[in-house]
Structure 1
């Protein structure tokens, strides 16, 4: 007697809201790389731009119409930061699952409201902290978890650029959710929380350094832990570049100079599954207690694992790859850093005991 064919879960139909740099470069190609997801709608006012890349996808100019479309199961929000919370709320109330690009929201109040609504609606709510799957981070994480440098004393994470001219774009205008800290800070914080958990307190110096800058373009933040310190830094005025990660411990140091290449690859048309996808030939350098340098291979990165996690969560009941409470913790550190910069005083993380317990 022959066995009945195994039933496979239906593909999740996706609407992508926004087709600017983030939607075009990251979300659309990563979604399209996952067998369990089907990108059926993109909300954009430029249908020609979308159809050059995805001729079969329906383009809808109005985000609200795209979000509430009856065929859509999952809404991915890649629109300007100030729209994240209202659009995510609309999607959740329309009984859609939701992925929000970072930063999650503009503040903790908005983030908490979305988490509560997702719980009430029994919908998945996730935040696109894609850099958990970067080659540089995976390399450092692997060595730290293996105890390569013993007890950690100092950890530094840099994402610096050289863009001396202020550009005419929403990210560089004086409006809620703009600025370098809201752009880069979530990446640096989320990776740190994945390694070390919540800090005891936060110090911050966030400012404007370029001529004509309307919003912050430089940030230096210290996360204080009982036995070590973490330095997060981002700048728009670093022509010579900087080391991506530096870690010092009781049994040596680790240095990762080069940054993950997936963003550059995606922009150049490389896609998940291609031979060079996620490859990083820049090694981690381990300095042993005697001061000798040893090269350690860097594993390949793969940001498509985020969307594979989303598909698995929705089709198979697997864990959410980045939960709302994890993203809430990132927002809490971001707010603490801004408050520390404005006050000149250390700030504690404004999470409740119940929220902290859920992060353990």
Structure 2
């Protein structure tokens, strides 16, 4: 997928919730190779927000409306509720667009295979959004492992946990696992992907899911054990009812261990309106303030 320098890729952003507004829109605006020509979202409030942030874009309710309004569209970026990724990607490919889809890419392997074949037939790119491979904590683990600072890595604990007594989004409350609901689809897809990228191919040898909230249809706690072909064992945890979260990473090797607490600040900074070009400087300022507070204490 390429375009001459004087003609950026005409893009439709499908969905303008937290993912579309915070993760995708700022990156698309930052990169001159892309032009947000259309935004598709059914919510009137989100349509108003999209018009404010993308005054040059056509703002409509659906992907079909966007295709009719902007015939020259080349790329669809899909950031909608999980169960809609497959149907929307199918429609976009059928219209001749390349596709980037949020994780979970689809909710089951069979749908993924159908999409893969559809993309091959159409001669179009079909790409999951791999943003969490570039989180600072993941890059720190990769740097330590690649430098041999931990020796031979034996085990990894990876966790993203939070305390969210209520679920704000209606679709997350109501979607069962078969419809892409639950923390394993939401957070677990990123954590499992990170484990495979960092330590190579493997297979899940154990999984445990719990639904502790009575008002939801899917699990809020997930634990997966992955045995990698490299000999590393990954323990992956995701949960949204954890008052005291575990470290983000604990990596144990023959020569030492690495423990990382906290998460990459870029999501919060982008949500505050910090542009991608300013994220690194803003994060450094946050760390400096934290160090100063620690020193005063």
Give TM class, smaller chain.
Answer: 0.7 to 0.9
Alpha-carbon deviation of 1:168? 4.9
User: Which structure shows the bigger proportion of residues in helix conformation?
Assistant: 2
Match for residue 137 of structure 1? 138
**C-alpha distance in structure 2 between counterparts of 1:67 and 1:80, whole Å:** 20
1:267 and 2:267 equivalent? Answer: no
Is contact 2:157–2:249 with CA below 8 Å preserved after alignment?
yes
**C-alpha distance in structure 2 between counterparts of 1:98 and 1:278, whole Å:** 31
Match for residue 218 of structure 2? 215
Q: Residues 90 and 168 (structure 1 numbering): CA distance in 2 closer, same or farther, change over 3 Å?
A: closer
Match for residue 291 of structure 2? none
Alpha-carbon deviation of 1:65? 2.3
Match for residue 20 of structure 1? 17
Alignment of 1:228-267 (within 5 A): 228-267=232-271
State the Cα deviation string for residues 182-207 of structure 1 (Å, max 9, x = none).
Answer: 10011101111111222144310011
**C-alpha distance in structure 1 between counterparts of 2:6 and 2:141, whole Å:** 36
Alpha-carbon deviation of 1:166? 3.8
- Taking only aligned residues, the RMSD between alpha carbons, in angstroms, comes to 1.9
Is contact 1:26–1:263 with CA below 8 Å preserved after alignment?
yes
Q: Residues 24 and 100 (structure 1 numbering): CA distance in 2 closer, same or farther, change over 3 Å?
A: same
Match for residue 108 of structure 1? 109
SS of the equivalent of 1:279 reads helix
Is contact 1:257–1:282 with CA below 8 Å preserved after alignment?
no
TM-score (norm 2): 0.88
Alignment of 1:1-360 (within 5 A): 8=5, 10-45=7-42, 46=44, 47-67=47-67, 69-175=70-176, 176-226=179-229, 227-274=231-278, 276=280, 279=283
Higher relative contact order (CA 8 A, sep 6+): 1
SS of the equivalent of 2:276 reads coil
Gaps of 5+ in 2: 289-297
Alpha-carbon deviation of 1:70? 1.3
**C-alpha distance in structure 1 between counterparts of 2:165 and 2:62, whole Å:** 35
Query: How many residue pairs end up in the alignment?
Result: 277
TM-score (norm 1): 0.73
Alpha-carbon deviation of 1:94? 1.1
Alpha-carbon deviation of 1:29? 1.0
Match for residue 307 of structure 1? none
Alpha-carbon deviation of 1:122? 1.0
